[in-house]
Structure 1
Amino acid sequence: MKTIICLKGDATNPKTEGNKIIAHICNDIGGWGKGFVMAISKRWKLPETEYRKWFQSKENFHLGEIQIVKVEENILVCNMIGQHKTMTNLKGIPPIRYEAVEKCLNKLIDEALKLNASVHMPRIGCGLAGGRWEEIEPMIERTLLKNNVEVYVYDFE
């Protein structure tokens, strides 16, 4: 089985050959304005525009769904709805929804295999969403890696 390749750098600037999908977590309330999405928006306007359109349409816009947006000849961005709202709730539950993230990753397998693409991401769900990498990493192994998709995780310097 493949293993996650960890790199230092910027996940919006993948350095590998071939098709690449940049995967990241979005919330389920149409908010785009903090965290990794800012790095995406600095580079390309389309992922935010498409996410907002998707939210407005309400069509299949819920936890566990993904949206693939082509931004360059061989780079696509995968908006994954894996976060409920944006704040830790009163019971201390962070916005991350692990079941939804796993659903998204399972849907991403098909896209990656269809395009013969590697997947690039920051440590998804571990920033503002409040998730723990110890929970996310095994999910990536069970989904993408188990299906022979190459995964690169970037730690921003």
Structure 2
Amino acid sequence: MSSFVGYVKGDLFQLTKEPTLKPLLLAHACNCMGVWGGGIAFAFKQRFTSAYKIYHKFCTDFRSDPSSLLGKSLLIPVSPRDSGFVKGAGEKLLIVCLFTSVMGEESAHEIATNTKNALLDLKKQLADPTLVYDKTARSIVEGYESKTEELTVNMPKINAGIFGVPWELTENALKSSGLPCRVFVL
């Protein structure tokens, strides 16, 4: 996989309206407490309630040690019942939760390191779908046959909002992950 960070002016969620044959990865930085209460996470929650429920339950399973999720990623499918589901894209849409902070108390450098590790975890899951937690998400990744065309991780400027991480730190984490990333800016 080749690493690059590209920038697109526009709304990340516009991608969910375009038909696709390959998995569509929309990533955001998440806390480990099962809360999508603000920022882009809240926008995901409003559009894809089913994905939020999977994320919340997943975090609940780690309630005794939420920090063990740091540097991990979770791929979640969406449901046709979600308000943001669009036929032609929704069947291939995967929300990627990057666990970068327990609840925002880590330093900017720790969050950036957790971001890099979460992207490396995502890279492993894409290479070996048996590692994907959710069975529907796993089948979407397994169903992608092309090894010649890489999947791009689409995201807003993660960590820069509520977590307050300087963008340069996150951008360096993206570059060092070995994954192609496309960052949407409004």
TM-score, structure 1 normalization: 0.80
The answer to whether 1:65 aligns with 2:87 is: no
The whole-number CA distance in structure 2 between the counterparts of 1:40 and 1:118 is: 19
- Higher deviation after alignment, 62-71 or 15-24: 15-24
The match for 1:100 among 93, 103, 114 is 114
C-alpha RMSD of matched pairs (Å)? 2.6
Counterpart in the other structure of 2:166: 132
- Aligned equivalents of 1:112 and 1:9: distance in 2? 26
Q: Matched residue of 1:129: which SS?
A: coil
Higher strand share: 1
The structural deviation recorded for 1:113 is 4.8
Structure 1 residues 68 and 2: alpha-carbon distance in aligned structure 2, compared to 1, 3 A threshold: closer
Relative to its length, the structure with more helix (as a share) is 2
Question: Which consecutive unaligned segments of at least 5 residues does structure 2 have?
Answer: 79-89, 129-140, 142-149
Mapped to 2, the partners of 1:32 and 1:49 lie a distance apart of: 10
- Matched pairs, number: 148
Deviations 1:37-90 (A, max 9, x none): 12212221122111110121128852112111012211100111101313x58x
Q: 1:29 aligns with which of 25, 30, 33?
A: 33
Match of 1:84 among 102, 106, 119: 102
Unaligned runs of 5+ in 1: none
Structure 2 CA distance for partners of 1:13 and 1:95, relative to 1, 3 Å: farther
The 1:94–1:139 alpha-carbon spacing in structure 2 relative to 1, beyond 3 Å, is: closer
Secondary structure of 2:14 counterpart: coil
The more displaced of 17-26 and 108-117 is: 108-117
**1:45 equivalent in structure 2:** 49
Identity percentage of aligned residues: 22
Q: 1:102 offset after TM fit, Å?
A: 1.2
What is the distance in 1 between the residues matched to 2:119 and 2:58? 19
Which amino acid letter does the alignment assign opposite residue 85 of structure 1?
M
**C-alpha displacement of 1:16:** 8.4
Q: 1:125 to 1:96 in 2, by over 3 A?
A: farther
Listed one character per residue, the Cα deviations across residues 109-129 of structure 1 (whole Å, up to 9, x for unaligned) are: 233456452210001111101
- TM-score of the pair, normalised by structure 2: 0.69
- Describe the superposition over 1:8-47 as per-residue Cα deviations: whole angstroms up to 9, x where unpaired: 1222332685321111111122222101012212221122
Query: Compared with structure 1, are the counterparts of its residues 2 and 106 closer, same or farther at alpha carbon in structure 2 (3 Å cutoff)?
Result: closer
Note the C-alpha offset of 1:94: 5.6
The Cα shift of 1:2 comes to 4.8
Contact 1:22 1:120 in 2 (8 A): yes
